[in-house]
Structures are given as C-alpha cells and as structure tokens.
Amino acid sequence: MAIHKARGEQAAAGIEAITTMVPTADVIVASLNMVLPGAMLGEVTPVARTILEAKAKKVLLPLNRVRVEIVGTEGLTMDTLIDECLSRVRVARQATCQA
C-alpha cells in the first residue's frame, strides 16, 4: 500500500475502513461516483450513504461513469478541477480550524 511505502504509521482500506473513518472527517474529497449509488457497479453504495450522512464538508469532482451531466463544468480540464477542489478544501479546512 502506498501509505506504508511513504512510512505512514496507520493504513486501512476497504468499505469497513471507509465507513468507520468518514464520519470523523472534517472535509471529504471524492469523485461524484462515490455518492451516486450504483455508479461504480454498486460496490460503493454503503460508502455513498456514509459520505452523504457525514457532517463533513463534501468537495466532489465531477467525474462519473453513469452519464450524469454537471452543468457548469463543460470545458474544464482535470488540472483546473483539481485546483478548484484544493482551493475549496483549504477554505473548508480554515473554517473548521476557526470553529
């Protein structure tokens, strides 16, 4: 696992790890697929529920496999989307730290 290679102290993977840790997050960054039940062939439906029910700020990248169009994202490159995502995470994190 990449976390172990980077000498991380703890690492977890799988649906149980995600559904356990997501409720403790301040900010969640994910693909739109992660909150569309069935969008990733059904295997993330419990994760979708967990993400949507979490109190955390959700920053979603408009990447999907189920032909959902997100108005306003036309023509944006992946680099632009990631830059905007990071900007929103910074703002959300600052708000969380000040609360």
Mean pLDDT within 55-65:
86
Cα–Cα dist 53/22, whole Å: 9
Q: Confidence band (pLDDT; 50, 70, 90) for 90?
A: very high
Cα–Cα dist 33/45, whole Å: 10
Q: What is the pLDDT of residue 41?
A: 67
pLDDT at 65 over 80: no
Looking at mean pLDDT, say which of 3-7, 19-23, 70-74 comes out highest.
19-23
- In sequence order, what DSSP letters do the residues of 61-96 get, joined into one string? E---SS----TT-TT--HHHHHHHHHHHHHHHHHHH
Q: Where are the domains of the chain?
A: 15-98
Spatial CA neighbour of 50 closest among 58, 62, 39, 61: 58
Residues written for the chain: 99
Mean pLDDT within 31-47:
76
